[in-house]
Amino acid sequence: MSEIKKIIIVAGEESGDMYAAEIINDLSRNKNLKFFAMGSNKVKKTKATFLLDSSSLSVVGFFEILKLYPKLLKSLNMMKKSIKEIKPDLLVLIDYQEFNMKLAKYAKSHGVKVLFYISPQVWAWREKRLKNIKNYIDEMAVIFPFENKYYKNLGIKSHYVGHPLVKNKDYKKDYSKKKNYIGFFPGSRISEVKNHLPIISKIIDKMHLKSPEEKFLISRSSNIDKKIYSKYFSGKNHVSVVTNENIYKTIETCKIAVAASGTITLQIALKKIPMCVFYKLSNATYLIIKFLIKTKFISLVNIILERKVVEEFIQGDASADNITNEIEKINSNLNYRNNLINDISMVEKILLDDTYKISISSLVEKSV
């Protein structure tokens, strides 16, 4: 009988939780693999031995992280203890870079092989992290073709595994024929939602006064308390707060989307819904990040297409007036809308590039 190989997989954010669950479910057929996992709602439903709930650990910003630091430190120590006790044959780290790079360093000091999936965006900011990647990561599994070339040019072992969003084809299914809503996607982290809901509330109030026939949708992450949304939208019949496990069901009901920068912008692009992107941080965090970012854009759609296709409203520009004007432009200018849809449709073509591609599940199986 073959020896059982133990794999610890760590996901700290909602998108990572989804990707971790897919890997575990894909490889559940292999009886010689035993999974242990840190994750959230989706990982809990897999056959992995659940180690730690990460649903309250996701936050953005230097000062925001400080508030959460005691909980993060406790969770980090719990995961280090799990690595020491389980002695896995492979540690798979998904995104969540600050936390996961500390785990990678600890794992390497204990002779555990480390595979990092979803690259830290060193090509965008804080390039000094490359030294830690070289020292603590055995293999990188990257999701964009340009990342593979970037790492290989630096002598780092890298595999292009393709983007997980185009793997399962969920975005190709038809969920709704009616596109009735102007949809808002404020993010999956509690700090994002708290920063973005006041802006969204102002936009909706402004548009409702002008166009009372319009319907509005707010996408809610299942990790975030409903009361946070109720504070702004309770009793407003023209606003629906929607929680769908399959985000594409929510996206498909929208004729226009307004999304916080992140993976959601790619999901909206795959459904070919015209959109704009916004993001707001604390002023102190923004001032620091502003000097560290090397890319022209914050939206993954624009980064992938290497030009500004969707409008981006960042920090002070993320105002109710600016975003409302863009929504109305998309809604009323047919040529502008159609050109936007045609441009964002190119995202799917790029993500489907299978040059030098191996699946993440195959790579995990091969790495143990």
| Interval 311-356: pLDDT, tens | 999 989 999 999 999 999 999 999 999 999 999 999 999 888 777 6
3-state helix, strand, coil in the chain (%, to 5): 50, 20, 35
The DSSP secondary-structure symbol of 29 reads G
Residue 313: the pLDDT is: 97
Partnered with residue 279 across adjacent β-strands are 314
- CA 292/CA 176 separation, integer angstroms: 41
Q: Over the range 2-17, which residues count as b (16 or more CB within 10 Å of their CB) and which as e?
A: eeebbbbbbbbbbbbb
pLDDT in tens, 245-298: 889 999 999 999 999 998 899 999 999 999 999 999 876 666 656 655 666 788
The pLDDT assigned to 121 comes to 67
Cβ-in-10-Å burial (0-12, 13-18, 19+) of 85 comes to exposed
* DSSP reduced 3-state for 243: coil
Q: Which residues of the chain have pLDDT under 50?
A: 1, 62-63, 124
Residue 1 has a pLDDT of 46
pLDDT, residue 132, reads 85
Domains of the chain: 5-162+354-367 (3.40.50.2000), 170-351 (3.40.50.2000)
pLDDT at 156 (0 to 100): 86
CB atoms within 10 A of CB 354: 10
Q: What is the pTM of this model?
A: 0.77
